[in-house]
Amino acid sequence: MSQDIHVVIGASGATGSVIVRELHEAGRRVRAVNRSGRTSVPGGGVEFVGADATDPAQMREVCTGAAVVYNCVNPPFLQWRDAFPAVVDGVLAGAAEAGATLVHADNTWMYGTVAAPMTEATPYRPVSNLGVLRAWLADRILAAHQRGEVQAVIGRAGELFGPRVESTIGRNVFGAAQRGRTVHWLGAVDVPLTPLYIDDFARGLITLGEREEALGQVWHVPHPEPVTARQFVGMITAVAGQPVRIIAHGSRTARALGVVSAIARAGAEMIYQFEQPFVVDGSRFARAFGEKPTGYDDAIRSTLDWYRANPGALRLGR
């Protein structure tokens, strides 16, 4: 087993938990950091530590001896504006103190409205407050790298699905399909998108942490071929064996929901992604590192199996 410590911040979330599992299975020494310090990883063998990612002193302590630090923290949606900058400052402090590589898990919100597939060269033109925040955080991390304060790399993904994923195509779509209920889709159902399986994102982040030539850059992990929402839901229902209808709801519905729900109000500003082509191009990563995404059928089957084994995850508020 390698004695280099891989520190996963946000280890209980969808991305972090897969990174912990993959590193552990590969024989790496893993320190998994969450708020509680409690573990849900069967079999043990992983050091779980409780810490607050917004506290630089605590991050310096938990990152002691780290070779790679993975920032997978995803604060509660309504706390993003205040919490995320503090999280980034905390993990930057921890990685810098340890002399470790920082791998930052990111999304594509900073690109705004686009007509073509999103590449690493797509300019930042955010059209939402959350997109502005994501752009600012990415610039902050890369600026720290350029100043020589830390070695950092950013891995990006579009819309994710899979175990523990809270997203537009997470519990809402898979839960409805599994139970044979109508899928209510926010956005257009016949424009292309590239849903990415959470395991593929996590593995891509691990690769970035291992490759020195990746440092100081943004990388889009490889995404599958584009499909429409209608096609994607059709694949889910075929695997689930439950025929369902799909109903599209536009921005007017999202804004109406926002009148009564702060979460819906915050999410309404992101619906533009699903009213236009939402295609992420990860070909540069694939050429450099040779990875390919999991096929849709296998990824969907794995996700449905997880929901069947964890029915409580289908309840609202989880």
| Res 53: pLDDT | 98
Predicted confidence band at 78 (pLDDT cuts at 50, 70, 90)?
confident
Predicted confidence band at 121 (pLDDT cuts at 50, 70, 90)?
very high
Query: What's the whole-number mean pLDDT along residues 163-190?
Result: 88
Mean pLDDT, the chain, whole residue set: 91
| Res 168: pLDDT | 79
Predicted confidence band at 37 (pLDDT cuts at 50, 70, 90)?
confident
Predicted confidence band at 77 (pLDDT cuts at 50, 70, 90)?
confident
- The DSSP code sequence of the chain is ---SEEEEETTTSHHHHHHHHHHHHTT-EEEEEESS-----TT--SEEEE--TT-HHHHHHHTTTEEEEEE-----GGGHHHHHHHHHHHHHHHHHHHTPEEEEEE-SGGG-S-SS-B-TTSPP---SHHHHHHHHHHHHHHHHHHTTS-EEEEEE-SSEESTT--STTSHHHHHHHHTTPPEEEES-SSSEE--EEHHHHHHHHHHHHH-GGGTTSEEEPP----EEHHHHHHHHHHHHT----EEEE-HHHHHHHHTT-HHHHHHHTTGGGGSS-B-B--HHHHHHH---PPPHHHHHHHHHHHHHH-GGGGSTT-
| Res 169: pLDDT | 85
Query: What's the whole-number mean pLDDT along residues 64-88?
Result: 93
> Tell me: the pLDDT tens digits for 276-306?
999 999 999 999 999 999 999 999 999 999 9
Does the pLDDT of residue 190 top 50, yes or no? yes
Angle between helices 229-240 and 171-178 (to 10 degrees): 40
Percent of the chain with pLDDT over 90: 74
Does the pLDDT of residue 43 top 60, yes or no? no
| Res 96: pLDDT | 99
Query: What's the whole-number mean pLDDT along residues 45-61?
Result: 96
- The DSSP code sequence of 226-241 is -EEHHHHHHHHHHHHT
| Res 1: pLDDT | 39
| Res 268: pLDDT | 72
Does the pLDDT of residue 317 top 70, yes or no? no
Identify the weakest region by mean pLDDT among 40-44, 84-88, 187-191.
Answer: 40-44
Query: What's the whole-number mean pLDDT along residues 77-102?
Result: 95
Work out whether strand 218-220 and strand 151-156 pair parallel, antiparallel, or are unpaired.
Answer: parallel
Does the pLDDT of residue 131 top 90, yes or no? yes
Percent of the chain with pLDDT over 70: 91
> Tell me: the pLDDT tens digits for 141-167?
999 999 999 999 999 999 999 999 988
> Tell me: the pLDDT tens digits for 208-265?
999 999 999 999 999 999 999 999 999 999 999 988 899 998 766 655 554 334 445 5
Does the pLDDT of residue 66 top 70, yes or no? yes
CATH code given to domain 5-162+195-223+281-293:
3.40.50.720
Distance CA 6, CA 102 (A): 10
| Res 158: pLDDT | 97
- The DSSP code sequence of 210-271 is H-GGGTTSEEEPP----EEHHHHHHHHHHHHT----EEEE-HHHHHHHHTT-HHHHHHHTTG
